[in-house]
Amino acid sequence: MSTPRTITVALTGASGMPYGLRLVECLLQSGCRVWLLYSQVAQIVARQEMDWHLPGRAAEVEAELSARFGAAPGQLRVFGREEWFAPPASGSNPPDAMVVCPCTMATLASIAAGLSQSLIERAADVVIKEQRKLVLVPRETPYSAIHLENMLKLARLGVCILPPNPGFYHHPRTVEDLVDFVVARVLDQLGVAHTLMARWGEEEEGR
């Protein structure tokens, strides 16, 4: 039996919490193992955008989301912001890939500068140095020259910069459709199969 892929997902304080939670749900449904990290400001955003009280204790978040998404025992692990002995903190045990969704400009800047002041930043630094896939979903508008320069620096290192810009050619009818469009693009970058939306040309070929 093959070992399931391990994906680190980090939730930061940018607007876009529905993207992050939907991504976690889809990864768990696909059979991936998920290591979840979240910032203190992400707790505020979760309450504001989803009326969700994101607990401060990692163990409570792990229990709540495991029950909500039907995760298998041990499939979802949640780590605190300064839990430096967590697996994502070391290059000796890197995940297969990492996604920061949503990603604040402060987090993006810290990653670009190689700072590791929190577990999220350290985990991203590990993924870059171990040459694993890193996807950042930056939610800000407009972008300043500082933001763009930081993104360019990371893109040149092979980091995928994936702004949550939904398309409309699939005729979305709900907010959930728009969320799924972005999450589908993230899953594509991770090589995780999904059925969130039809691929370009599939509907036409089936007519």
Residues annotated in the binding site for dimethylallyl phosphate, as ranges?
Answer: 169, 185
* Strand spans (E) along the chain: 6-11, 33-38, 76-79, 97-103, 133-138, 160-161
Q: Annotated binding site: which residue ranges?
A: 13-15, 39, 104-107, 139, 169, 185
Taking residue 97's Cβ as centre, other Cβ atoms within 10 Å add up to 22
Q: Annotated binding site for FMN: which residue ranges?
A: 13-15, 39, 104-107, 139
Q: Which residues of 101-118 are buried (b: 16+ CB within 10 A; e: fewer)?
A: bbbbbebbbbbbeeebeb
Strand partners, 37: 10, 79
Peptide bond into 73 cis (omega under 30): no
Under a CB-based contact definition with an 8 Å cutoff, are residues 37 and 123 in contact? yes
